[in-house]
Chains A and B, each alone.
Chain A
Amino acid sequence: MSGATLDPRLANARVAPRKKFQFSWADPRFRSLVWQVVIVGGIALLVWYLAHNTARNLAARHIATGFDFLGKSAAIPIGESLLPFTSSVSTYGLALVIGILNTLKLAVVGVVLATILGTLVGIGRLSPNWLVSRLTGIYVETLRNIPVLLQLFFWAALLQTLPGPRQAFHPIAGVFLSNRGIKLPTIDWLPGHLWVLVAFLIGLAGTIAWSRAARRRQDMTGVKPLVWPAGVLLLIGLPAVVWLALGLPLALDVPALRGFNFAGGMTVTPEYGAMLLGLVLYTATYIAEIVRTGILAVPQGQWEAAGALGLGRGQLLRRIVLPQALRVIVPPMTSQYLNLIKNSSLGVAIGYAETVSIANTTLNQTGQAIEGIAIIMVVYLAFSLSISLFMNWYNARIALVER
């Protein structure tokens, strides 16, 4: 690897004319060409050798390649799915789609919760209150030094030890905690709700308009009219009035014990609960550290200047510190989000039906190892790429605008 000795700036700075390409070891360009041919050739040879072996092994074991198996019916018992799935009737393709949706369901909720928790903990570590900063510090130092897989096993085991449906914990009406998961009541959609939603959207538009008007007024007069009373009135008051006017339409689907299990309501399965709890608590420790270093990266003078202007602590954080800290926070945050998504593949260890777990079952049942692993990799590469693209766009948006 002795090819690239020349810095491109050096090449430009030279007075000597560009030398002719020579087939001699003394010419750096010739050397780099030779090295590239050797390295690329070596890798190509290795890949060819492996592919050749694979083809022979597949032929010897009578395994057909191709993605035809996706259309066959799959005998996979799937605990939870967002789409209707019948084991031994529905196809492997549908099972994989369900797995991808389950991964997304876990990743989206996990990212949001981990960001909220991580930000709170990160700010908490900088709190002037000794107890708060110590407790958050202990939380961060402990959980980030224990493998996430161990934590997931722990939460899964803990949720398994909850009592059965008949002795379920019943903290508030309509909520049950048992080893079948968490049961929550849901609200049935009624026609009248549409108007409430419309009223809420009108209120949202009104709030945005009001806050813009307030901003303009502040620019002109220096006095900012209060925004939050108008916001409360428009966002909560208006829908509430519409709801009242329609005669309070409401139908709750409350879970109830029927026989040995619950009927009605919404279920958070123990597997999903354990995955979510484990991933959020683990990732939040990293996010907390990122937020903490981001805030510490804002120079002390910025805090003091904001204090000198008479800003309160809330305004100081929201208007001065956060916009500057975000520039430091966003890039490492991206890789934590990606880590959370990649760690969601550990669902395979505790029986959560996500992409890897379903792909693994598929490849065990059909023997299509290459295709199964290719699917896992393509799916995760797609996730990684799309998150990277989005975060790069966001990063560019909040970046410092210089002259």
Chain B
Amino acid sequence: MSATTTTHIPAATRERPPSGLVGPVAWMRANLFGSWISSAVSLVLLYVILRAGWSLLDWGVIHAVWTVPQGANGADTTACRDAIGTGACWALVPEKYRFILFGFYPFAQQWRPAIVIVLFLAMFAISANRRFWRIELLYAWLVALVAIGVLMWGGILGMPYVAQDQWGGLPITLILATFGLAFAFPLAILVALGRRSTGMPAVKLICVVYVELIRGVPLISLLFMASVLFPLFLPEGIDIDKLLRAQVAIILFAAAYLAEVVRAGLQALPKGQGEAADALGLSYGKKTLLIVLPQALKLVIPPLVNTFIGFFKDTSLVLIIGIFDLLKSGLTAVADPNWQSFGTEVYILLAVIYFAFCFAMSKYSRGLERSLDRGHRR
């Protein structure tokens, strides 16, 4: 309605806003030079940004070495060595990316972990979409996890067997993070419910001690426990491989933190919901599964995703007990004498990979927060 009326006003009579209030000059006056102190800060920052940006561009693009020739034993990195201090050696990326992504996985078979990575990414993308949040998604994950296991181990369908100690790189990081959360989450819900229970003091005590104990110690102490103590805990002759032990430690660690997030959701849920379910005569299981948990979990989705991001980053700690994750394969790539002085380039590459995953998750969490919040706004 208003659109039609405004179009009828002759252009000549319509007044333009004063030139001091719109346009880039006005924007700069408001946002960069608001006061003399703001102007001073802006000028200093502009200088710093231009200087730093230029030297970064100079190092990373202009003087960077993009390819190196192949020598008798491996790549010939003299060109890179000459550029140390003046330019980055991006030749390292095409040379080493397969090692960084897949570790010591047999070179000819590396299409298998590559498919695993793609499969993980596809499953993450599907799970992120709220339209697919139903029971079929769970089955899809089960199928995907079986496929991942088959691809990584092989031994059937004509794929040669690859022992677990040859796995490495990004698949390890994704496996640790995904399986860790998949198992930690149900455990966390049980612990949170146990901690909230009023009728079972003994169970409550166990849950409190478990959560506070795990949250009080660093993850690395649990990983040491997994690598040194778990073999002592098991009867003689039974030997679990290192990856699985680290996975158990991560699950126990993640569950304690997730339990606290879930508990916050349970506490935030109005008491009337549980009481109404009791009044309807629902059993504890039905009340919890149908009434309490769906609402409580919805309340805490953003902090849950933040916790997920934390665990994704924390999986990098497994390298301390000698598991070949993404970070470790990156560090090993530059242990190669030919490439020894190019740590910075590898650190940047690894940082970009981790950042891509974490930033995608945090963006997603923020979007979800906004769309979930809509239901509460009147």
Q: Quote the shortest CB–CB distance from A165 to chain B (angstroms).
A: 19
Instruction: Tell whether, in the assembled complex, residue A58 and residue B362 are in contact, meaning their CB atoms are under 8 Å apart.
Output: no
Task: Tell me whether A343 and B218 are in contact in the complex, defined as CB-CB below 8 angstroms, given that A53-B233, A129-B34 are known contacts.
Answer: yes
Name the A residues within 8 Å of B206 (CB-CB). 39-40, 43
B224 close to A373 (CB less than 8 A): yes
Evaluate contact between A345 and B199: CB separation under 8 angstroms: no
Please pick, from B34, B213, B217, B351, the residue contacting A150 in the complex, using a CB distance under 8 A. B351
Interface residues contributed by chain A, number (CB under 8 Å): 61
Contacts of A380 in B (CB 8 A): 216-218, 221
- Inter-chain contacts of A149 with B (CB < 8 A): 316-317, 319, 327
Size class of the B contact interface (CB-based, 8 Å): 35 or more
Interface residues of B in 28-59 (CB under 8 A from A): 30-32, 34, 38, 41-42, 45-46, 49
CB of A147 within 8 A of CB of B316, answer yes
Alpha-carbon distance between A57 and B190 when the two chains are bound, in angstroms: 32
Residues of B5-41 whose CB lies within 8 A of A: 30-32, 34, 38, 41
Across the interface, name the chain B residue whose C-beta is closest to A46. Answer: B233
Contact in complex: A147, B314 (CB < 8 Å): yes
Partner of B359, one of A4, A6, A141, A153: A141
Asked if B333 lies at the interface with its beta carbon under 8 angstroms from chain A, I say no
Would A147 and B313 count as touching, CB distance under 8 A? Answer: yes
User: Is B350 interfacial (CB-CB < 8 Å)?
Assistant: yes
State how many angstroms separate the Cβ of A391 from the closest Cβ of chain B.
14
Closest partner residue, chain B, to A347 (CB atom): B220
Stretch at the interface among A28-36, A191-199, A208-216: A28-36
Identify A4's interface contact among B200, B218, B232, B354, CB under 8 A. Answer: B200
B235 CB, nearest partner CB in chain A, Å: 5
Q: Quote the shortest CB–CB distance from B48 to chain A (angstroms).
A: 9
Does B228 belong to the interface (CB within 8 Å)? yes
Chain A, residue nearest B257 (CB): A335
Residue A148 is within 8 A (CB to CB) of chain B in the complex? yes
Contact B199 A154 (CB under 8 A): no
Q: Name which of B41, B194, B224, B327 has the most chain A CB atoms within 10 A of its CB.
A: B224
Taking a contact as CB atoms closer than 8 A, the residue among B203, B216, B225, B359 that contacts A145 in the complex is B359
Say whether A6 contacts B46, CB under 8 Å: no
A373 touches B355 (CB 8 A): no
User: Do A373 and B283 touch (CB < 8 A)?
Assistant: no
- CB-CB contacts of B175-193 with A at 8 A, as 1s and 0s? 0000000000000001001
Nearest 5 A/B pairs, CB to CB: A4-B199, A145-B358, A130-B31, A342-B218, A2-B284
- Knowing that A141-B362, A144-B358, A381-B216 touch, tell me 13 more A-B residue pairs with CB under 8 angstroms: A3-B197, A6-B278, A7-B275, A28-B199, A40-B202, A43-B206, A128-B34, A130-B31, A142-B355, A146-B313, A150-B347, A150-B351, A154-B344
